[in-house]
Amino acid sequence: MIDEPELAALAPPPLARRGFVMTGLISGLTLATVRVEAQTIHTDAKGLDAAELHIPVADGGMPAYMARPQGSGPFPTVLVIEEIFGVHEYIKDVCRRLAKLGYLAVAPELYAREGDLTQAMTQAQAFAIVNRAPEQQINSDLDATVAWAARNRADPARLGVTGFCRGGRLTWLYAAHSTTPKAAVAWYGPFSGPTSEIEPVSPMDVVGRINCPVLGLYAGLDPSTTPAQIAEAEAKAKAAGKTVQFVTYPDAMHGFHADYRPSYNARDAADGWARMLAWFRRYGVA
């Protein structure tokens, strides 16, 4: 059970002038992409504390999902960074899978200010929302999530980060922003591309400035990340003395870990998951 003092976090604090469009998370799976629900993995919450909550940030309460083992902790922690589709059942299940392994896993809804992803019916509608979120704001919200976890039975000295799709991109950026994570694992996501005022850098720009070891898990059939880009990123990181490892699955498509989508590849997803857990153990998260 979640302790009484923590129940206050389950209700959003009063909204500031800007406020939040989303005050809750998606129930079930996203409607914004093709789903194959028969193949989805369902992890129960037996033995866990698992709940939706609101994390205090400068302008209100950011929706999030948390799962952790029952007990006093402190627990090693994994910050889970969502796809473009919001914190829906797949991301929540990833948190529960990690919690079953002894981690406190928390996934913030980073796009809550920009629009209501619960109403996005297409990928284009989802992109229209998430593309409005400034990276400086995202990093600040991830910092706030880490601070929340440290107040709620997490061990701040054992923090890992992982993200999927756009979250894979943000994993690299956060590894360059924060000195707190011990290790990070990026699942696919674009490595370079056009920048803008709200997206001033790409992972390629910061790979030589990361503050922790990063494992990148990529798909050979993903046109958004080419072998040449991966080779360039690896060379830049190693020239700067950074610890990185890139694994490319030749027959995998973008989203190969997303078990609710046609792109799911059970073999490669399981291999990537095992590599992620080994990476966390190797570099002091577990």
214-219 and 75-81 beta bridge pairing: unpaired
Q: Minimal CA–CA distance to 41: which of 118, 93, 76?
A: 93
Q: How distant, in Å, are the alpha carbons of 188, 201, 226, 231 from that of 220?
A: 10, 24, 8, 13
Catalytic residue chosen out of the listed positions 141, 165, 212, 259: 165
Does 212 qualify as catalytic in the annotation?
Answer: no
Largest CA-CA distance found in the chain, in angstroms, rounded: 52
Catalytic residue chosen out of the listed positions 88, 254, 257, 259: 254
- Listing DSSP states for 219-248 in one string gives ETT-TTS-HHHHHHHHHHHHHTT--EEEEE
Does 254 qualify as catalytic in the annotation?
Answer: yes
Tokens of 64: 């999030």
Q: Minimal CA–CA distance to 172: which of 154, 192, 194, 158?
A: 192
CA–chain centroid gap for 33, Å, is 18
Catalytic residue chosen out of the listed positions 222, 257, 259, 268: 222
Does 93 qualify as catalytic in the annotation?
Answer: no
Tokens of 159: 């923090």
Q: How distant, in Å, are the alpha carbons of 35, 49, 177, 277 from that of 240?
A: 41, 41, 16, 25
Q: Can you tell me whether residue 184 is helix, strand or coil?
A: strand
Q: Which residues are catalytic?
A: 165, 222, 254
